[in-house]
């Protein structure tokens, strides 16, 4: 049985390789040939994927993607479809493929988080997007490597209403990024003890994947709060990087709030550490920079609120340092994040027109904070990222 499964994995890897090499006819033929033989992948999904590739009609896959029927009985999955990423404020769509195995990790539960949203805001306007952490086996296109996405958002796929499907979090790629370039950047940007505190949860061999998973799940709960991410996409709210950046920062900050409500302060603070490693070690260095990229803007807003909360300072060596070097202290460092995000979300629920979001989602950043972010975060790590570009 093991030999059969190993052979099946090699066949799926071959299909991904055909997609990467633009040998689409071969990929279609292999999908159809194997649709009746595979035991670990849903046969109906494979057959429909072949039809979608042949006819360039991705609506065929929409319902099964939203309902997560693409996942096999033991967690194995294969998705092949055009996937869009945004670089320098420009969309870039490429036929992509990802083959992997979903992890069994569901804490805190979606039900617990949805009840918490109702408690905080009195209503839940959309279900919380499900975040599925997985181990990659093979991939190509916009969902692979340093230039692709490690966190694969559902609305990037070319399926109709794909925004209602699950997000996919590539644990192996996240780990590689965190312990590579991100690790170096955090050590350059932050003084030694602060960097050690932030990197601690990611160096935990037993729990690091769980911390990353929970961080992304509470972040998705943040997106579902208020009017909801789906509502904002429908009404074209994210017309430029700054609106999207505010939404990302708001979701981060509400994620901190939900972590504080569902976990001990020690554990919730570790999720803040993971988030900061993402925002300051990875996202701050995206090619779009301060004037184009959603995630860069989110990191800038996070730094603004840390200084406003007097939770961070600049050392004599020109590095950033936290005032309270503990995980409960790290949770206290984002108290202003949490309070402002709660206020912003309650205000958006009181709007009478979606156009009101455009004025609401303008958050001023002091010029000095922008200069600090540019000089002490972005420019300090340019040499590290230049090696990868």
pLDDT tens-digit profile of 156-201? 999 988 888 998 988 877 777 777 778 899 999 999 999 999 999 9
* pLDDT given at position 147: 66
* CA gap 219, 310 in Å, rounded: 24
Question: Rounded to whole angstroms, what are the CA distances from 376 to 84, 300, 313, 368?
Answer: 31, 12, 12, 12
Q: Taking Cα atoms as reference points, which of 167, 142, 143 lies closest to residue 155?
A: 167
Q: Are strands 90-102 and 76-87 parallel, antiparallel or unpaired?
A: antiparallel
Length of the chain: 389
**Contact criterion met (CB below 8 Å) for 270 and 220:** no
Q: Are strands 167-170 and 151-152 parallel, antiparallel or unpaired?
A: antiparallel
* pLDDT given at position 89: 59
* pLDDT given at position 8: 83
**Is 346 exposed, middle or buried (CB count within 10 Å of its CB: 0-12, 13-18, 19+)?**
middle
Question: Rounded to whole angstroms, what are the CA distances from 327 to 235, 341, 377?
Answer: 38, 21, 22
**What would the two tokens of residue 172 be?**
């192996």
* pLDDT given at position 6: 60
The CB-based long-range contact list for 26-29 (8 Å cut-off, 24+ gap) reads 27/53, 27/80, 28/53, 28/54
Please give the model's pTM, rounded to 2 decimal places.
0.79
**Contact criterion met (CB below 8 Å) for 300 and 366:** no
* pLDDT given at position 368: 96
- The label of the residue with tokens 């870039």 reads 92
Q: 7 is in which domain, residue-wise?
A: 2-386
* pLDDT given at position 1: 41
* pLDDT given at position 146: 63
* CA gap 177, 175 in Å, rounded: 5
**What would the two tokens of residue 285 be?**
């260095």
- Transcribe 302-331 into DSSP letters: HHHHHHHTT-EEE-TTS-EEESS-SHHHHH
* pLDDT given at position 5: 52
Regions of the chain with pLDDT less than 70: 1-6, 87-89, 105-107, 145-147, 385-389
Domain tally, the chain: 1
Considering Cα of 88, then 89, then 91, then 94, what sign does the dihedral take? positive
* pLDDT given at position 169: 86
What single DSSP character describes residue 334? Answer: T
* CA gap 354, 227 in Å, rounded: 9
* pLDDT given at position 88: 60
């Amino acid at each position: 049985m093991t030999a059969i499964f190993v052979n099946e994995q090699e066949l799926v890897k071959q299909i991904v390789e055909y997609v990467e090499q633009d040998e689409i006819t071969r990929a279609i033929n292999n999908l159809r040939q194997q649709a009746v033989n595979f035991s670990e992948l849903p046969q109906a999904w494979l057959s429909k994927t072949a039809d979608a590739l042949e006819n360039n009609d991705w609506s065929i896959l929409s319902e099964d993607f939203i309902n997560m029927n693409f996942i096999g009985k033991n967690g194995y999955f294969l998705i092949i479809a055009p996937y869009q990423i945004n670089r320098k404020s420009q969309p870039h769509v490429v036929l992509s493929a990802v083959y992997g195995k979903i992890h069994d990790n569901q804490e805190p539960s979606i039900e617990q988080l949805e009840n918490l949203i109702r408690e905080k805001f009195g209503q839940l306007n959309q279900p919380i997007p499900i975040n599925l952490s997985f181990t990659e086996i093979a991939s190509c296109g916009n969902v692979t490597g340093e230039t692709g996405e490690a966190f694969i958002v559902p609305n990037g796929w070319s399926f109709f209403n794909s925004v209602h499907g699950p997000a996919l979090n590539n644990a192996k790629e996240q780990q590689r990024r965190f312990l590579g370039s991100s690790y170096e950047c955090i050590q350059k940007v932050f003084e030694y003890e602060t960097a050690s505190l932030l990197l601690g949860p990611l160096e935990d061999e037993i729990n690091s994947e769980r911390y990353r998973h929970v961080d992304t799940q509470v972040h998705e709960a943040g997106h579902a709060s208020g009017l909801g991410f789906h509502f904002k996409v429908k009404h074209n709210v994210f017309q430029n990087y700054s609106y999207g950046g505010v939404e990302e920062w708001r979701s981060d900050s509400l994620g901190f709030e939900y972590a504080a409500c569902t976990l001990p302060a020690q554990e919730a603070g570790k999720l803040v550490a993971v988030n900061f490693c993402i925002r300051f070690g990875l996202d701050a260095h995206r090619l779009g920079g301060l004037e184009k990229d959603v995630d860069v803007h989110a990191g800038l807003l996070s730094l603004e609120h840390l200084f406003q909360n007097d939770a961070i300072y600049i050392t004599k060596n020109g590095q950033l340092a936290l005032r309270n070097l503990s995980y409960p202290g790290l949770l206290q460092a984002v108290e202003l994040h949490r309070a402002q995000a709660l206020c912003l979300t309650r205000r958006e629920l009181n709007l009478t027109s979606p156009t009101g979001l455009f004025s609401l989602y303008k958050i001023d950043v002091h010029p000095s904070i922008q200069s600090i972010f540019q000089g002490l975060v972005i420019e300090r790590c340019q040499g590290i990222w230049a090696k990868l570009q």
